[in-house]
Amino acid sequence: MPERKAAFLYTPLFCEENIWLLTNKLRDSGRSDEPMSVLFFSNPSKSIMLWRQKAAQAGQAIVWDYHVVLQVHRNQDDWIYDFDSRLPFPCCLSTYLSLTFPEQTALPERYRTWIRQIPAREYLKHLYSDRSHMEGKIPTDQFPDYPIIKPDRSCPPIPLSDYWDMNKQLFDSSLVIDLETYRHLGNQQQPPQR
């Protein structure tokens, strides 16, 4: 079941693009019959706490403004692809959630995670980021060396800032839910596929 991370293109600190590229590659390799969703983690204060991220020291949590992973439903199970995690790639959804996110009720409200669940095909059609959110934060030579991902002219763009705005309703059939509710619902809470 585990797939090699090295088989996929990856740029540190650009999780939204890494997941777009991964989703596109899986779809092109014949995985289009497997339901896939992009999970966009953030919250209104843009400060979510995660464990087992490679950017943090082992045994320490890290606070991100947002994080993006791919969820694939295969053989009656849900699997999470997270390039930045120390957990297996992919990792079973329930294991991933329990080992990555602290108990939400024990956290101050500002660190509690919300999820925007996006049908993967909609994410592939609409994602647009000009990478301006990283300008001045990292050297330009650490930016991806491929062109910016943007939709073709027939599809309206959804900017990265709209995805991480958990109060914004988008036209891509995405669904926003808090992490604890999502944990209890499991994959029953699938957004509609178009």
What span, in angstroms and rounded, lies between the C-alpha atoms of 143 and 133? 11
What span, in angstroms and rounded, lies between the C-alpha atoms of 116 and 37? 10
Phi, psi dihedral angles at 159 (to 5 degrees): -70, 155
- Picking from 9, 64, 71, 7, the residue whose alpha carbon sits closest to that of residue 41 is 64
Tokens of 91: 């990792």
What span, in angstroms and rounded, lies between the C-alpha atoms of 164 and 166? 6
Active-site hit among 15, 84, 91, 172: 15
Q: Is 133 a catalytic residue?
A: no
Q: Is 184 a catalytic residue?
A: no
Q: Is 67 a catalytic residue?
A: yes
Q: Which residues contact 167 (CB under 8 A, 6 or more apart)?
A: 44
3-state helix, strand, coil in the chain (%, to 5): 30, 25, 45
- Picking from 36, 82, 81, the residue whose alpha carbon sits closest to that of residue 190 is 36
Active-site hit among 33, 65, 77, 82: 82
Active-site hit among 67, 78, 126, 172: 67
Contact between residue 115 and residue 39 where contact means Cβ atoms under 8 Å apart: yes
- Residues designated catalytic: 15, 67, 82
